[in-house]
């Protein structure tokens, strides 16, 4: 299979303009003849649904939450990047493009990333016009802060609740469209499969989470904006319900899954406290602007942090990366934390933690400034840990956070299934092997507000659509498969709950495919995961009925897909025999522990094709061509 | 610690519902309230019983999904804290805890502790937006906003839409929720063109949804996990009255 990325020809700077000029348009009066299904109403989905409705398309949107406002995007804290260069510190579209490519360790497509940087400024304009209350300076203009992986201040923020405010902005646009009856909104409905008719994605099959009803919905195109799969590790910073089902079902129907092993571990999360733990809470990376990360110099130093004098502290990021210091990119910061903890210098009850200390900043700027910047994060920390970070350094440790991998899409954001478009965290397109902070919000909104409204029109205009309804035999067939699976889950009546299996899977994934990976470990995991999956199908127990609100059934379905998907992720990690970005293969590192890329053999996207449960999927590649940047060893020293 | 839980169980919207007693042992201080319920649910599933259904997602106090009335108080007794952020170190060994859904006429129970809060969404659909199509926006810094107003607008925008204000209000009023949204926009220059229309439309929808009237109990502010101020209600009332006088009412 050749993967055609459909990147427009011509100079990088002109590609998007050229595309927009050359694409086919749908006449305004004809737009209402096309229907799009949008699954997911996080930043990417809500912005897409609203924008498509404004253009005149008929839109049906779906979420498993009780309201679009509760999507996982709501939890983003730190900020959103844009190349406005308001601080006059040397930023530009080119620099944002370059930082993103470099941050992704040269494993993303130049053309997509450049387009992202180009539209970044429009996003800020759009959000401000919607009434998003970004932080401002005394003069009334927008304030910026800096974030990991960048030396300029380009991050816009709304206290520690940027994701909330951006999502509420997109949700308000979506609400307006729903109120005008331009969008039909379905809440508490989970997509469980995709219907493909005559080779095109033509609809979805859903389960109503309140009454269990299995239903079909048809459309001329399907958009998945269903978020990332970080919960494959069980413990992560993601919301509880985040799952891989929508993407994985599309994969089983023929969409290729790209770079699943590119999973990001976030350096600043609250450390684990016990087996009961259901999630790991992120402490925004923006804290690294003013906090200094350290561990005791000596192994086994059990003194309280405030009793450890300067000379006995190791500010290891500042020491190893003098120019970026505490703002080194996420993968580097995470691995460095693991390194010092593995050396036995970790803090917290489990020994898996490092300090993030604000004492110097409080001295320099005053408590009030710090409170203004991070007040709500500090409160959150105190609530969870029971310690006051104004007086005692925070403890942090890395946790699974974000999925750079996702369904493969071309420049149009269309997967290998015609008509199936994928936006936001669910696609693989822009972050390469590592995402920079504050770039996910930017990408989700870029996809939804400024890319899909153009590219879907081109798809509609270039294709013929036979009339289909949900009576089509394909829908009936897919519905029957969904019902069968549900019944099967309910009928096992074994001895272990869905959560028990999920936790078991997560432990294997974190142990063998977390921050560091190696061949032997990955092979081991490839033996262990199928065993857990086999046991799952023999020994699962769930209670209640299929035709009712049933939380254990919902969970079981999601865990079942994670158990299959995990293997694809492991295969990808095994076959990518290099280190790059967040994918750290211990076999490939420089003497100082830096990731060692192998551009000769791996400067490509790996996209996996489904071949059957438990069978090794087929690996296809899309070569990455760098015409504008030089592949360099990523250095943050 | 060991706790005795009295939990509201209700099969569906038509069921009458009842309190059910459960004993949980081995509760750790570091657990969140929802993690404590997870432990109970795991036990129930293994005993072949149906787990207790409750809404939750982010477990970081931001999505607004979690919605338990704990010992009679929405989100429990801890100030400015959502249920998911409430930790068991705030309880004592041997405590009895009463757990019920957010109760209000406009929030019918769906199952157990899950209620239907889509009334909030419909209020938003009626007017909780600035009418701007994608692509129309002027340059972001073209319109300065005083820091004071921007900050105040953000104070209002911090609302997570959980509905604790409604559940806490003896009248089941949604004034705090609606006023937070109305004020967020009223404080910004971008919100001015539709300011009057918005407040009328949102209040009108609020009344249609069966929320009660505000009689200044201020229980809403006390229960709000984001400490949204009742000052916004006063602000909205002013806007509403002024708009009633000057704008033709569209219904
Ligand atoms: C704690 C935290 C902090 C973060 N902070 C930042 C930050 O500061 N800056 C930044 O840029 N990024 C940040 N991120 C990352 C960023 O928030 C996410 O990558 C981004 O919001 C994802 O948006 P999305 O629209 O793609 O998906 P989501 O917001 O995850 O939305 C997914 C949607 O799909 C729906 N859905 C999924 N599956 C189905 C199904 N089968 N059926 C029906 N509906 C379905 C869900 O209901 C939801 O509506 C953070 C992430 C976390 C976890
Ligand atoms: S679960 Fe999101 S606010 Fe409690």
Residue A387, domain member (yes or no): yes
How many domains does one find in chain B? 2
Contact between residue A19 and residue A9 where contact means Cβ atoms under 8 Å apart: no
Contact between residue A111 and residue A15 where contact means Cβ atoms under 8 Å apart: yes
CATH code at position A349:
3.90.700.10
Q: Is residue A598 over pLDDT 60?
A: yes
Contact between B141 and A142 using a beta-carbon 8 Å cutoff: yes
Nearest atom in ligand 1 to A282's CA: 1
CATH code at position B153:
1.10.1060.10
CB-count burial class (<10 Å; 0-12, 13-18, 19+) for A24: exposed
CATH code at position B75:
3.10.20.30
For chain A, give the mean pLDDT: 95
Are B18 and B105 in the same domain?
Answer: yes
The count of other CB atoms within 10 Å of the CB of residue A319 is 11
Are B103 and B127 in the same domain?
Answer: no
**pLDDT band at A605; cut points 50, 70, 90:** very high
CB-count burial class (<10 Å; 0-12, 13-18, 19+) for A636: buried
pLDDT at B205: 98
- Six-digit token pair at A508? 């294997």
pLDDT tens digits, A480-539 = 999 999 999 999 999 999 999 999 999 999 999 999 999 999 999 999 999 999 999 999
Q: A80-81 and A153-156: which strand pairing? A: antiparallel
Give the whole-angstrom CA distance, residue A251 versus residue A371.
46
Q: Among residues A28, A2, A6, A3, which one has the least CA distance to residue A19?
A: A6
Are B28 and B127 in the same domain?
Answer: no
pLDDT at B250: 56
Q: Which of A43, A57, A136 is most worth mutating to test chain B (most B CB atoms within 10 A of its CB)?
A: A136
The count of other CB atoms within 10 Å of the CB of residue A407 is 30
Give the whole-angstrom CA distance, residue B137 versus residue A126.
5
DSSP secondary structure string for all residues of A49-114: HHHHHHHT-EEEEE-SSSSGGGSGGGG--S-EE----TT-SS--HHHHHHHHHHHTTT-S-HHHHH
**Which residues lie below 8 Å from residue B221, measured CB to CB, with a gap of 6+?**
B165, B176, B227, B228, B229, B230
pLDDT tens digits, A79-128 = 999 999 999 999 999 999 999 999 999 999 999 999 999 999 999 999 99
C-alpha gyration radius of chain A: 24
Are B12 and B32 in the same domain?
Answer: yes
Q: Among residues A361, A343, A381, A363, which one has the least CA distance to residue A288?
A: A361
Residue A271, domain member (yes or no): yes
> Which residues are bridge partners to A196 per DSSP?
A201
Q: Is residue A471 over pLDDT 60?
A: yes
Spacing, Cα A72 to ligand 1 middle (Å): 4
Interface list for A 278-337 with B (CB within 8 A):
278-279, 281-282
Residue B251, domain member (yes or no): no
Cα dihedral sign, A361-A367-A370-A375: positive
Please give the residue range of the domain that contains residue A321.
Answer: 265-401
pLDDT at A132: 98
Residue A62, domain member (yes or no): no
Give Cα A536 to chain centroid, integer Å. 27
**Which residues lie below 8 Å from residue B16, measured CB to CB, with a gap of 6+?**
B10
Cα of first residue to Cα of last residue in chain A, in angstroms, is 41
Lowest-confidence segment of A282-286, A303-307, B46-50 by average pLDDT:
A282-286
pLDDT at A388: 95
Are B164 and B227 in the same domain?
Answer: yes
DSSP secondary structure string for all residues of A126-151: HHHHHT----B-TTSSBP-EE-TT-S
Residue B137, domain member (yes or no): no
Please give the residue range of the domain that contains residue B15.
Answer: 3-111
pLDDT at B249: 59
Lowest-confidence segment of A2-11, A147-156, A190-199, A517-526 by average pLDDT:
A147-156
**Which residues lie below 8 Å from residue B144, measured CB to CB, with a gap of 6+?**
A136, A139, A140, A141
Spacing, Cα B42 to ligand 2 middle (Å): 20
pTM confidence score: 0.96
> Hey, is A218 helix, strand or coil?
strand
Q: Among residues B122, B116, B237, B97, which one has the least CA distance to residue B167?
A: B116
Are B197 and B241 in the same domain?
Answer: yes
Strands in A211-353 per DSSP E? 214-218, 221-224, 257-258, 263-269, 292-296, 313-314
Q: Among residues A566, A503, A559, which one has the least CA distance to residue A529?
A: A566
Contact between A128 and B140 using a beta-carbon 8 Å cutoff: yes
Interface list for A 535-564 with B (CB within 8 A):
541-544, 548-552
pLDDT at A635: 74
pLDDT at A574: 98
Give the whole-angstrom CA distance, residue A258 versus residue A256.
6
Minimum-distance CB partner of B184 among A133, A278, A499: A133
pLDDT at A329: 81
- CA-nearest residue, atom 3 of ligand 2: B61
Q: According to DSSP H, which parts of A264-366 are helical?
A: 316-320, 330-342, 359-365
pLDDT at A373: 84
Q: According to DSSP H, which parts of A343-439 are helical?
A: 359-365, 367-385
Q: B68-70 and B96-101: which strand pairing? A: antiparallel
Q: Which residue bears the tokens 């929808």?
A: B205
Residues above pLDDT 90, as percent of chain B: 97
- Six-digit token pair at B164? 């604790």
- Six-digit token pair at B6? 């009295």
Residues B219-245, mean pLDDT to the nearest whole number:
97
Contact between A164 and B147 using a beta-carbon 8 Å cutoff: no
Residue A546, domain member (yes or no): no
Q: B109-111 and B96-101: which strand pairing? A: unpaired
Q: Which residue bears the tokens 């110099």?
A: A297
Are B210 and B170 in the same domain?
Answer: yes
Question: Is A74 in the B-facing interface, judged by CB distances under 8 Å?
Answer: yes
**Which residues lie below 8 Å from residue B236, measured CB to CB, with a gap of 6+?**
B175, B178, B179, B182, B183, B186, B199, B203
Q: Which of A70, A249, A330, A597 is catalytic?
A: A330
Give the whole-angstrom CA distance, residue A418 versus residue A220.
10
Q: Is residue B251 over pLDDT 60?
A: no
Question: Is A420 in the B-facing interface, judged by CB distances under 8 Å?
Answer: no
Of the listed ligands, the closest to the CA of A167 is 1
Contact between A164 and B59 using a beta-carbon 8 Å cutoff: no
Contact between residue A69 and residue A427 where contact means Cβ atoms under 8 Å apart: no
Are B107 and B124 in the same domain?
Answer: no
Residue B98, domain member (yes or no): yes
Interface list for A 199-258 with B (CB within 8 A):
210, 239-241
CB pairs under 8 A between A and B: 227
Residues A35-56, mean pLDDT to the nearest whole number:
98
pLDDT at A372: 85
Of the listed ligands, the closest to the CA of A194 is 1
Residue A372, domain member (yes or no): yes
Annotation says A176 is catalytic: no
Contact between residue B147 and residue B101 where contact means Cβ atoms under 8 Å apart: no
Are B159 and B90 in the same domain?
Answer: no
pLDDT tens digits, A322-354 = 988 998 888 889 999 989 999 999 998 888 899
- CA-nearest residue, atom 21 of ligand 1: A73
Cα dihedral sign, A424-A430-A436-A442: negative
Residue A608, domain member (yes or no): no
The count of other CB atoms within 10 Å of the CB of residue A516 is 18
Question: Is A28 in the B-facing interface, judged by CB distances under 8 Å?
Answer: no
Give the whole-angstrom CA distance, residue B42 versus residue B46.
6
Give Cα A111 to chain centroid, integer Å. 20
Closest CA–CA distance from residue B131 to any residue of chain A (Å)? 8
Are B77 and B28 in the same domain?
Answer: yes
Residue B50, domain member (yes or no): yes
Residue A167, domain member (yes or no): no
pLDDT at A594: 81
Contact between residue A129 and residue B143 where contact means Cβ atoms under 8 Å apart: no
Give the whole-angstrom CA distance, residue A422 versus residue A405.
12
**pLDDT band at A285; cut points 50, 70, 90:** confident
Q: Is residue B31 over pLDDT 90?
A: yes
Contact between B157 and A133 using a beta-carbon 8 Å cutoff: yes
Of the listed ligands, the closest to the CA of B159 is 2
Question: Is B24 in the A-facing interface, judged by CB distances under 8 Å?
Answer: no
A279 → chain B, closest CA residue? B59
pLDDT at B200: 97
Residue B136, domain member (yes or no): no
CB-count burial class (<10 Å; 0-12, 13-18, 19+) for B52: buried
Interface list for B 67-96 with A (CB within 8 A):
80-81, 85, 87, 89
How many domains does one find in chain A? 1
Contact between residue A154 and residue A92 where contact means Cβ atoms under 8 Å apart: no
Spacing, Cα B78 to ligand 2 middle (Å): 15
Give the whole-angstrom CA distance, residue B211 versus residue B170.
11
Contact between B39 and A276 using a beta-carbon 8 Å cutoff: yes
Spacing, Cα B66 to ligand 2 middle (Å): 5
Are B57 and B127 in the same domain?
Answer: no
Are B105 and B124 in the same domain?
Answer: no
- Is the CB of A65 within 6 Å of ligand 1? yes
pLDDT tens digits, A385-402 = 999 999 999 999 999 999
Q: Is residue A569 over pLDDT 60?
A: yes
Spacing, Cα A445 to ligand 1 middle (Å): 11
pLDDT at A146: 86
pLDDT at A592: 72
Residue A30, domain member (yes or no): no
């Amino acid at each position: 299979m050749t993967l055609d990325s459909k990147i427009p020809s011509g100079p990088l700077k002109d590609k998007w303009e050229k595309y927009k000029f050359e694409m086919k348009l749908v006449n305004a009066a004809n737009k209402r003849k096309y229907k799009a299904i949008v699954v997911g109403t996080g930043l990417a989905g809500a912005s897409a649904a609203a924008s498509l409705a404004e253009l005149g398309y008929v839109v049906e949107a779906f979420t498993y939450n009780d309201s679009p406002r509760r999507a996982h995007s709501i939890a983003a804290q730190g900020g959103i990047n844009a190349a406005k260069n308001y601080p006059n510190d040397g930023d530009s579209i080119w620099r944002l493009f370059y930082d993103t490519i470099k941050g992704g360790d040269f494993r993303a497509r130049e053309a997509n990333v450049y387009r992202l940087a180009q539209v970044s400024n429009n996003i800020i304009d759009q959000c401000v016009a919607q009434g998003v209350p970004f932080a401002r300076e005394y003069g009334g203009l927008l304030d910026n802060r800096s974030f990991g992986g960048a030396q300029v201040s380009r991050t816009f923020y709304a206290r520690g609740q940027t994701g909330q405010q951006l999502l509420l902005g997109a949700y308000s646009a979506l609400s307006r469209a729903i109120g005008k009856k331009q969008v039909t909104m379905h809440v508490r409905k989970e997509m469980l499969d995709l219907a493909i008719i005559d080779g095109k994605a033509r609809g979805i099959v859903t389960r109503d989470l309140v009454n269990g009803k299995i239903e079909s919905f048809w459309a001329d195109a399907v958009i998945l904006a269903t978020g990332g799969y970080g919960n494959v590790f069980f413990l992560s910073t993601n919301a509880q319900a985040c799952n891989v089902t929508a993407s994985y079902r599309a994969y089983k129907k023929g969409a290729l899954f790209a770079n699943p092993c590119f999973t990001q571990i976030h350096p600043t999360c609250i450390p684990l406290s016990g087996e009961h733990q259901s999630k790991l809470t992120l402490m925004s990376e923006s804290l690294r602007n003013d906090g200094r990360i350290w561990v005791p110099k000596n192994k086994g130093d059990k003194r309280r942090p405030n009793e450890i004098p300067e000379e006995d502290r190791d500010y290891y990021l500042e020491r190893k990366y003098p120019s970026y210091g505490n703002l080194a990119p996420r993968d580097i910061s995470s691995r460095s934390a693991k390194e010092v903890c593995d050396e036995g210098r970790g803090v917290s009850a489990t020994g898996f933690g490092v300090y993030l200390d604000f004492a110097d900043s409080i001295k320099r700027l005053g408590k009030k400034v710090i409170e203004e910047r991070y007040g709500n994060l500090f409160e959150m920390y105190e609530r969870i840990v029971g310690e006051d970070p104004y007086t005692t350094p925070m403890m942090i440790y890395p946790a699974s956070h974000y999925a750079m991998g996702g369904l493969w899409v071309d420049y149009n954001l269309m997967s290998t299934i015609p008509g199936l478009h994928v936006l936001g965290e669910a696609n693989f397109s822009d972050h390469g092997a590592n995402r920079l902070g504050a770039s996910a919000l930017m990408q989700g909104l870029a996809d939804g507000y400024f890319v899909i409204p153009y590219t879907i029109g081109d798809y509609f205009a270039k294709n013929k659509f036979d009339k289909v309804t949900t009576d089509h035999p394909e829908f009936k067939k897919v519905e029957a498969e969904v019902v069968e699976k549900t019944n099967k889950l309910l009928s096992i009546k074994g001895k272990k709950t869905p959560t028990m299996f999920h936790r078991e899977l997560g432990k294997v994934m974190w142990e063998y495919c977390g921050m560091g990976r190696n061949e032997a470990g990955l092979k081991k995991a490839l033996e262990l995961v199928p065993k857990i999956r086999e046991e799952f199908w023999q020994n699962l127990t769930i209670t209640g009925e299929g035709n009712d609100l049933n939380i254990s059934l919902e969970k079981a379905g999601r865990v079942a897909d994670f158990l299959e998907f995990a293997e694809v992720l492991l295969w990808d990690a095994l076959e990518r025999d290099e280190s790059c970005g967040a994918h750290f293969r211990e076999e490939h590192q420089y003497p100082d522990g830096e990731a060692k890329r192998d551009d000769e053999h791996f400067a490509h996207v790996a996209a996996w094709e489904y071949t059957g449960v438990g069978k090794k999927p087929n690996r296809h590649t899309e070569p990455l061509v760098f015409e504008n940047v030089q592949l360099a060893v990523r250095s943050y020293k | 610690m060991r706790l005795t839980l009295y939990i509201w169980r209700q099969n569906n919207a038509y069921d009458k519902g009842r309190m059910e007693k459960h004993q949980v042992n081995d509760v750790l201080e570091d657990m969140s309230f929802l993690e404590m319920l997870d432990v109970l649910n795991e036990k129930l599933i293994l005993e072949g019983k149906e787990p207790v259904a409750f809404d939750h997602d982010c477990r970081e106090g931001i999505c607004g999904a979690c919605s338990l009335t704990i010992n009679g108080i929405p989100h429990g007794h801890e100030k400015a804290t959502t249920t998911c952020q409430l930790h068991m170190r705030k309880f004592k060994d041997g405590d009895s805890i009463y757990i019920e859904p957010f109760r209000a006429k406009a929030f019918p129970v769906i199952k157990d502790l899950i209620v239907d809060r889509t009334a909030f969404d419909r209020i938003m659909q009626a007017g909780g937006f600035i009418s701007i199509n994608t692509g129309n926006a002027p340059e972001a810094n073209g319109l300065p906003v005083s820091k004071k107003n921007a900050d105040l607008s953000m104070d209002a925008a911090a609302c997570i839409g959980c509905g604790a204000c409604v559940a806490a209000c003896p009248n089941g009023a949604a004034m705090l929720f609606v006023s937070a949204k109305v004020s967020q926009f009223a404080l910004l220059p971008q919100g001015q063109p539709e300011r009057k229309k918005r407040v009328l439309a949102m209040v009108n929808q609020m009344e249609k949804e069966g929320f009660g009237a505000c009689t200044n109990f201020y229980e809403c502010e006390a229960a709000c996990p984001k400490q949204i101020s009742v000052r916004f209600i006063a602000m909205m009332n002013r806007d509403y009255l002024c708009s009633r006088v000057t704008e033709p009412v569209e219904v």
